[in-house]
């Protein structure tokens, strides 16, 4: 049984967090520096953007968790620390400062994963971070998830955090997560920052496998604008403080862990898509009856990435032809003559296409269904048993307004 609990990244035993304003951002009301600490050594895993242009923190994180372990995460917003000549030097300095300020935790720079988000190509001054570290540690607490979730926000309008409890071998374990993501969302791994914590005991290699496999059904299946960002990372720490027998092989315990992980990451994916820049609708595409899982995923992703479909959802226009068009150019083999399409929301279900051809429907009913906050496009390929879901958002005037002057 998976049960939602309070606490975000601090819900799991042994994790503390904090978020403060240190001065990277000019706006003093916005937190811009975050910290997550495990009280004991933790197995660690991460997956990263596949954009060839990568933020310096990614290289440092890869190096620091090459042994499969970490004790903390240091993260800043307001500046992505990307395309800077001294980027890796600054990233290493952030880890060093976090270690020097750790007091009784006695941490080393190599104990930290690091992340940055914000404007690309702008030098990141180390002075505000150095000045903010003491305050960061002074606010570190088991109730700090909310402030840390705020500290990683950029154009996000809502904090994104969740935690769940689940059973492994008779022990209650917890997984918590926070995320940021609103624009430059089009995963080629995952395109946002996500930090996950768990008190489950699991082998670091299996932890990485679970995270990597989970991403195929979650982080790889979201898109806001088709832009794969440069600093994107999903990382997880597992400190074993729940006391379960260590998960060292696939089986019942591993499956229970993966199910809880999927619950958390699916929630965060939906939250990111719903909070897409300028978005007024969460767009969910459910593909059923594909001949294999790859086709199901590609079709679902093609539909939620279609600018014309996204614009139609914004206008509450049941233009199902745009859905068929997106399926047709997805680049996978489907039998168009078998495709059925419905539009669905809390207001009802509207069949619009059967066997690849339109069916009569009431435009007034369509408008009612499509004006809900979440609009679902159900696609039935009727060619097999594979299913997939993708999440996106509508395309609004505000997206251009937000990004027209993002830097200035």
76: tokens are 């800043």
How far apart (Å, rounded) are the C-alpha atoms in residues 217 and 12? Answer: 24
Chain position carrying tokens 């591993």: 254
The residues pairing with 116 across neighbouring beta strands, listed in sequence order, are 76
Which secondary-structure segment (H or E) carries 351? strand 348-354
Q: Is the dihedral of CA 360, 319, 269, 4 positive or negative?
A: negative
191 is catalytic: yes
Cβ–Cβ < 8 Å for 233, 48: yes
Q: Whole-angstrom Cα distance, residue 305 to residue 290?
A: 19
- By three-state DSSP, how is residue 34 classified? strand
Residue 395, both tokens: 């395309």
Say which DSSP state 246 is in: P
- Concatenating the DSSP letter of every residue in 157-217 gives SS-EEEEEEEEETTEEEEEEEEEE-SSS---SS--SEEEEEE---B-HHHHHHHHHHHHHH
Cα 82 to chain centroid, rounded: 20
Catalytic site residue from 82, 154, 191, 265 = 191
**Token code pair at residue 367:** 């408008």
Which candidate, 346, 343, 321, 325, places its Cα nearest to that of 334?
Answer: 325
Closest CA to 234 of 275, 202, 262: 262
Give the residue from 320, 322, 208 showing the smallest Cα distance to 257: 208
Which active-site residues does the annotation give? 191
């Amino acid at each position: 049984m998976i049960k939602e609990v309070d606490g975000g990244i601090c819900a799991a035993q042994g994790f503390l967090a904090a978020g403060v304003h240190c001065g990277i951002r000019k706006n003093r009301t916005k937190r811009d520096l975050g910290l997550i600490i495990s009280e004991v050594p933790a197995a660690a895993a991460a997956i990263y953007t596949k954009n060839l242009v990568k933020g310096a923190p990614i290289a440092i994180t890869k190096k620091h968790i090459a042994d499969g372990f970490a004790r903390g995460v240091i993260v800043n917003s307001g500046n992505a620390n990307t395309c800077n000549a001294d980027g890796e030097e600054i990233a290493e300095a952030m880890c060093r400062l976090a270690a020097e300020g750790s007091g009784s935790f006695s941490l080393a720079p190599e104990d930290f994963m690091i992340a940055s988000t914000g404007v690309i190509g702008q030098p990141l001054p180390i002075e505000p971070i150095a000045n903010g570290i003491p305050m960061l540690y002074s606010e570190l607490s088991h109730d700090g998830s909310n402030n840390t979730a705020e500290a990683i926000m950029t154009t996000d309008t809502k904090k994104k955090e969740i935690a769940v409890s689940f059973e492994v071998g008779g022990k209650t374990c917890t997984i918590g997560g926070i995320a940021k993501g609103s624009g430059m969302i089009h995963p080629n791994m995952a395109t946002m920052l996500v930090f996950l914590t768990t008190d489950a005991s699991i082998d670091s290699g299996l932890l990485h496998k679970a995270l990597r496999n989970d991403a195929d059904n979650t982080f790889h299946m979201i898109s806001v604008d088709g832009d794969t960002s440069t600093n994107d990372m999903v990382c997880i720490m597992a400190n074993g403080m729940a006391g379960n027998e260590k998960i060292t092989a696939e089986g019942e315990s591993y499956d229970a862990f993966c199910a809880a992980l999927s619950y958390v990451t699916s929630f965060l994916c939906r939250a990111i898509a719903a909070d897409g820049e300028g978005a007024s609708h969460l767009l969910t595409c459910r593909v059923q009856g594909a001949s294999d899982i790859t086709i199901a995923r590609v079709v679902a992703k093609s539909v939620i990435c279609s600018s014309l479909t996204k614009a139609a959802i914004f206008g509450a226009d049941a233009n199902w032809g745009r859905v068929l068009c997106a399926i047709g150019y997805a680049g996978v083999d489907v039998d168009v003559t078998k495709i059925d399409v419905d539009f669905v929301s809390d207001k009802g279900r509207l069949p619009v296409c059967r066997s690849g051809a339109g069916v009569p429907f009431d435009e007034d009913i369509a408008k009612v269904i499509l004006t809900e906050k979440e609009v679902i496009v159900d696609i039935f390929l009727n060619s097999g048993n594979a299913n997939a879901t993708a999440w996106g958002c509508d395309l609004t005037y505000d997206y251009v307004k937000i990004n027209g002057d993002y830097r200035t």
